[in-house]
């Protein structure tokens, strides 16, 4: 069945696929994960805020999360690609739009989009830490921010680590959607080679295999981590 296949094209394009494509994909995943978790944790803290004076924050964060989760990712990527230069220009008061580029546009988009999902994970994580832990922090003389930073968030993060990583594996796969803004991620690089050399089946099969291997290894790691954390808790 593979008689007519040219596996040589894969070998020839490996440096391009990985040095260009995979580096883009991994960098984008890493930056969006970091930014998404930081922003998402902030959103989670806003959503969990109590007291009448903080009610607008709760509402704002809730509206943002629900909006992001209601939109298809492709649409968000597309919109942000055109909107970010405008908003950026407006923010710094420039007369014309600012130049962002596909890569940074993608980083900003994925950070904003994934933050909504990381927010819900961190919200569950914060709620998984008993109220007594927070009280214990206050009773030991720590204010809200120090209690959050030293007591609640480290535990929330640890409890939710497997879920956060699972979400990151999804993010890793979703980065392939940057094709709509013609950025060259791993899949994009494979597609370019496939079209140039008319080797669509080989290249897409190979790309699928790489995504499978990376995701599978990551999932197994998450599974092992989960087993280890279950003992500690």
Neighbours of 92 (CB within 10 A): 8
Using CB under 8 A as the binding rule, whether residue 225 contacts another protein is answered as no
Q: Count interface residues toward another protein (CB under 8 A).
A: 19
Query: Least distance from C-beta 224 to another protein, angstroms?
Result: 19
Using CB under 8 A as the binding rule, whether residue 138 contacts another protein is answered as yes
With CB under 8 A as the contact rule, the residue among 139, 209, 213, 227 that binds another protein is 139
In Å, what is the CA distance from 143 to each residue of 39, 59, 132, 195? 21, 24, 15, 59
Stretch that binds another protein, among 13-21, 46-54, 152-160, 170-178 (CB under 8 A): 152-160
Query: Least distance from C-beta 146 to another protein, angstroms?
Result: 7
SS3 at position 59:
helix
Q: How far apart are CA 44 and CA 122, in angstroms?
A: 6
Nearer to another protein, 55 or 140 (CB): 140
Residue whose C-alpha is closest to residue 125's, from 153, 106, 151 = 153
Structure tokens at 33: 């994960």
Using CB under 8 A as the binding rule, whether residue 99 contacts another protein is answered as no
Residue ranges of alpha helices (H) inside 49-101 are 55-70, 73-92
Q: How far apart are CA 205 and CA 185, in angstroms?
A: 16
**Which of positions 164-223 make contact with another protein (CB under 8 A)?**
none
SS3 at position 71:
coil
Using CB under 8 A as the binding rule, whether residue 150 contacts another protein is answered as yes
Query: Least distance from C-beta 134 to another protein, angstroms?
Result: 9
In Å, what is the CA distance from 136 to each residue of 49, 116, 133, 139? 18, 30, 5, 5
Using CB under 8 A as the binding rule, whether residue 154 contacts another protein is answered as yes
Using CB under 8 A as the binding rule, whether residue 158 contacts another protein is answered as yes
With CB under 8 A as the contact rule, the residue among 66, 135, 195, 221 that binds another protein is 135
Nearer to another protein, 21 or 137 (CB): 137
Using CB under 8 A as the binding rule, whether residue 95 contacts another protein is answered as no
Using CB under 8 A as the binding rule, whether residue 228 contacts another protein is answered as no
Q: How far apart are CA 178 and CA 182, in angstroms?
A: 7
With CB under 8 A as the contact rule, the residue among 136, 170, 201, 209 that binds another protein is 136
Residue ranges that bind another protein, judged by CB under 8 A? 130, 132-133, 135-136, 138-143, 146, 150-151, 154-155, 158, 232-233
């Amino acid at each position: 069945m593979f008689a007519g296949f040219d596996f040589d094209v894969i070998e020839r394009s490996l440096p391009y696929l990985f040095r260009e494509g995979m580096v883009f994909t991994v960098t984008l995943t890493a930056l969006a994960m970091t930014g998404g978790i930081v922003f998402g944790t902030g959103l989670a803290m806003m959503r969990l805020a109590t007291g009448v004076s903080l009610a607008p924050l709760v509402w704002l964060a809730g509206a943002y999360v629900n909006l992001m989760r209601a939109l298809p990712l492709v649409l968000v990527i597309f919109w942000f690609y055109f909107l970010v230069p405008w908003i950026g220009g407006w923010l710094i008061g420039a007369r014309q739009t600012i130049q962002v580029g596909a890569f940074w546009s993608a980083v900003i988009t994925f950070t904003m989009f994934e933050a909504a999902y990381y927010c819900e994970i961190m919200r569950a994580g914060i709620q998984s830490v008993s109220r007594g832990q927070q009280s214990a922090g206050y009773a030991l003389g720590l204010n809200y921010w120090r209690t959050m930073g030293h007591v609640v968030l480290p535990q929330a993060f640890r409890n939710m680590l497997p879920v956060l990583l699972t979400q990151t594996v999804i993010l890793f796969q979703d980065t392939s959607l940057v094709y709509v803004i013609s950025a060259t991620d791993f899949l994009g690089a494979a597609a370019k080679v496939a079209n140039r050399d008319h080797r669509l089946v080989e290249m897409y099969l190979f790309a699928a295999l790489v995504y499978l291997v990376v995701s599978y290894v990551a999932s197994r790691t998450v599974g092992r981590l989960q087993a280890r954390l279950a003992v500690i808790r």
